[in-house]
Structure 1
């Protein structure tokens, strides 16, 4: 192991494994510097925190883990130089485990690699301080130790980086599998609340939170099939940014040719408040995100069955094509909820049909009623839309009251007649 290869400059030789063979004063300086490892670790840690925000506010356990790793890396470096022994498989296994931990701790890979560069620089400064003005030692450091220092830390950085990326890949596949399971529960096993809760918790999603389904018409005409999933991921990021939500708590799928995104409501908000917020969000998505042309929004609900119900409501809202909130591409289930309940009642339908039949005997009455409600029961605007004199409109409304025995100032009759207009539109 001590058969060296002569250096062209300086008096340091290389061992057969490429590690510098330290002798004399250079060995003594290295030994002295190794005794200062705690101070070097402090310098590395302080420089890293100062230069990278990713390390500025770490949990105590994570910060302690990073300090231990810097110490371990320094010990490896000095052990290698002082003994001439290369890194062992056990050393590499430890380095790779650190890479996987950093991925799970959420520290960016760029920050992890910056830490290695800072560590290398701080180590080199410690050696220069140790060498002082001794030219022979400086030459040994310059021509033998510094090239190996870069090589050594680059090897550690590569091992860490490979493990980090592999962990990210495995986690992404695992999370994708969990999201698929979550969607399967919503579609096929909505009553399995235990599996729903466990799957949500594994994805860091609150299983008790209310979620709203937004059903979207999305156009991606020039995207090749192998890029569709990537494009949907990018679209989800844009949606999260637009509504100021963490993309991790959004859940998406493709169903019946539409993009379905479940969005959490704010805890404590009522269904009414959530519906108003979602209407604003949906309109913003249509305005600012290219490719989204129409959105149907369900009502907030909880659990797998609630998610499924909200999605079906979103589809019904979209299919109704009816919007009363100032956006001809945003359709809220709350606008058709009463109408939906009436459609499920045979007696209610027969009653409303009888109103339509009574009014259909006289021309323009149903048309007049439709214009009246379409313009918010504002007689002047309704008469202008119908191109009739306000007195004519007033006569027709009075005639409707006479035929039905109704009073248009009665909220109950207003609700019935508004429903009649909806049924006639169908």
Structure 2
């Protein structure tokens, strides 16, 4: 059992050597952790060491073996300073262990040199050692909490500024290029491919997709926890078809996620292109999300994007052009697929039959049925019908109620 008077005297002896111990601590920390030796932190390291050493030894001297609920002010300032300068938390925690190592060694040495009975010396050494281990454990827990809180606050404020800068840029504000380079790390004079993403980890996904495109420059901003905007900048961007192929391949390697949707816009150059590519990516994303597809490229869905700007008008157009064929049921779906294949085959029934995997006579029968339902030969308004067929999947929910009435008119669609 430790004699409290012995513990108090040893603590008093180390307190008297405080300036020397602080100097040795700061020297050891600077030598072993270069990140803490920078000018901005040097004084904070010194005052933090002094505050922690003094409060700990005073607690030992005064028989207080409880542990603080808060860091000393100087130690808190050091933790926040490290967070602001990007010093890793592991480096800051190592500094505490270096200080603990030095003080523990001095504690044991002080008592070893004192003319004490062995049992009394051993008891005092053990009491001080237990206190110091518990103290450093408590201090590092508090340090990690302060550091993490400050880091999260900074990240939020920086990310908010980045998002606001991007929004201002999209809104047409003339922001100096050097400000954008400094705060966004992105050159808006490049040619841009834009992405709008929804995913469980949208920022990570954006970076993975950019890797597959050999991005010269990349800007990613988080919009919500599950969505992000991204721009890939290149002097000479690859063809959109190659971009789409690379993105599809990358998505195929990702863990499945039901809510995933990616829209791609561009390429487009400079500041106007930054905005245009993003607008295209937004349109493509909305089409992908509405259709439950993981990917849409604006170049492939530009017609749908334009038509669906006014969903009500698009729905009325589809209903007018397709008539009974717009019904959301299996028979109507068969006839729509037949009509699409016939158009794509240049009005060739044999080629359409090959596409559909049915007999040519079946295609002929279905086309007669289609003409009867439309009230005119389908080739008379081919352009309008093709557009309506492309738009139908995006407004299909509107026609659920129409299926029953249409079924009575369809007859067999074999």
TM-score (norm 1): 0.53
Deviation at 1:116, TM superposition (A): 1.2
Give the SS at the match of 1:295: strand
Q: Is structure 2 residue 193 aligned with structure 1 residue 212? A: yes
| Residues 12/207 of structure 1: CA separation in 2 closer, same or farther (3 Å cut) | farther
User: 5 Å matches for 1:292-303?
Assistant: 292-301=259-268
| Residues 156/285 of structure 1: CA separation in 2 closer, same or farther (3 Å cut) | same
Q: Is structure 2 residue 195 aligned with structure 1 residue 191? A: no
- The match for 2:332 is none
Cα deviation digits, residues 318-353 of structure 1 (max 9, x gap): 5677xxxxx975321233569989xxxxxxxxxxxx
| Residues 311/203 of structure 1: CA separation in 2 closer, same or farther (3 Å cut) | closer
Give the SS at the match of 1:297: strand
| Residues 71/265 of structure 1: CA separation in 2 closer, same or farther (3 Å cut) | same
Deviation at 1:103, TM superposition (A): 0.9
- The match for 1:125 is 105
Give the SS at the match of 1:284: helix
- Contact 2:202-2:227 at 8 Å conserved across structures: no
- Contact 1:298-1:310 at 8 Å conserved across structures: yes
Q: Is structure 2 residue 243 aligned with structure 1 residue 277? A: yes
Pick aligned residue for 1:250 from 217, 220, 229: 220
Cα deviation digits, residues 263-318 of structure 1 (max 9, x gap): 23254342527x62354225533653413354331114466653442233134445
Q: Is structure 2 residue 120 aligned with structure 1 residue 115? A: no
Distance in 1, Cα, partners of 2:220 & 2:3: 61
- Contact 1:296-1:330 at 8 Å conserved across structures: yes
Deviation at 1:200, TM superposition (A): 6.8
Cα deviation digits, residues 79-108 of structure 1 (max 9, x gap): 6659x899xxxx944322211121123234
Deviation at 1:211, TM superposition (A): 4.5
- Contact 2:196-2:281 at 8 Å conserved across structures: yes
- The match for 2:151 is 168
User: 5 Å matches for 1:387-402?
Assistant: none
Distance in 2, Cα, partners of 1:42 & 1:155: 24
User: 5 Å matches for 1:344-363?
Assistant: none
Aligned pair count reads 317
| Residues 194/266 of structure 1: CA separation in 2 closer, same or farther (3 Å cut) | closer
- The match for 1:12 is 6
- Contact 2:163-2:221 at 8 Å conserved across structures: no
Pick aligned residue for 1:331 from 268, 273, 296: 296
Distance in 1, Cα, partners of 2:173 & 2:155: 25
Q: Is structure 2 residue 198 aligned with structure 1 residue 235? A: no
- The match for 2:318 is none
Pick aligned residue for 1:371 from 328, 345, 351: 345
Where in structure 1 are there 5+ consecutive unaligned residues? 1-6, 50-54, 219-231, 322-326, 342-363, 374-379, 390-417
| Residues 8/122 of structure 1: CA separation in 2 closer, same or farther (3 Å cut) | closer
- Contact 1:113-1:157 at 8 Å conserved across structures: yes
Give the SS at the match of 2:296: strand
- Contact 1:250-1:263 at 8 Å conserved across structures: yes
Q: Is structure 2 residue 95 aligned with structure 1 residue 104? A: no
Give the SS at the match of 1:100: helix
Aligned-residue CA RMSD (Å)? 5.4
Deviation at 1:235, TM superposition (A): 2.2
Give the SS at the match of 1:270: coil
- The match for 2:355 is 385
- The match for 1:265 is 232
- The match for 1:21 is 12
- Contact 2:264-2:281 at 8 Å conserved across structures: yes
